[in-house]
Amino acid sequence: MPLLHMKEVFTPLKLFGIKIFRCKEGYTYIKVWKKPRKRIFT
């Protein structure tokens, strides 16, 4: 798996422990609490 450059997208969900990241290739990932990131959109 290649290294991905991710940037965190600010949302109010961060207050509840849900973070959203967008990578350089255009994919969107979600991270809930301490679980690993999962891709949600292509």
Q: What tens digit of pLDDT does each residue of 1-42 get? A: 566 789 999 999 999 999 999 998 889 999 999 999 999 966
Q: Which residues contact 21 (CB under 8 A, 6 or more apart)?
A: 6, 7, 8, 9, 28, 29, 30, 31, 37
Give the domain ranges of the chain. 6-41
The pTM for the full model equals 0.79
Q: What is the pLDDT of residue 5?
A: 87
Give the Cα-Cα-Cα angle 40, 22, 20 (nearest 5 degrees): 65
